[in-house]
Amino acid sequence: MRNALLCLILAIPMAHVFAQETDKALAAALKKQADAWDMAIVKKDKKAIAENMSDSFLMIDSGGETSDKARFIADLTSPDITIEPYTVDEFKIRIYGNTALINGATNMHGVESGKPFTTHYRFTDTYVKEGAVWRVVNVQTTRIKQP
């Protein structure tokens, strides 16, 4: 009994280390997935955009408007909009079991209906593990006011 207790006590720190390493690996995989989704958006790759999204997807934009999966994809891949390649700053991932929150900020540029646009915003993308696949279920954006 004493040996079993000692083994259990010694295993607890190792389990914590294993969990941290697992989270690091998952965070790296989610970062790669999020970066690929950003590139799919720039390229207007409908299939790749859709595959990263849950069927129950919802977006809430800075003005409080909402978009479901179909509308989100249609808006981003419209011939009336071109989004230039962009980077994400302040990228952070927090993992809670089968849910991951991805936060960041981006300064997006492009052309919409023939007119240039710039939008600087912070976002939260919520990913949920559906079976063996992580998919974004919710996006919320908040516009950053320019001085």
Average pLDDT over residues 93-113: 96
Quote the mean pLDDT of the chain: 89
pLDDT classification of 145: cutoffs 50, 70, 90: confident
Share of the chain above pLDDT 90, in %: 82
pLDDT classification of 81: cutoffs 50, 70, 90: very high
Closest CA to 120 of 82, 89, 92: 89
Using an 8 Å Cβ cutoff, are 84 and 64 in contact? no
Burial (CB count within 10 angstroms: exposed 0-12, middle 13-18, buried 19+), residue 89: exposed
pLDDT higher than 80, residue 11: no
pLDDT score of 23: 85
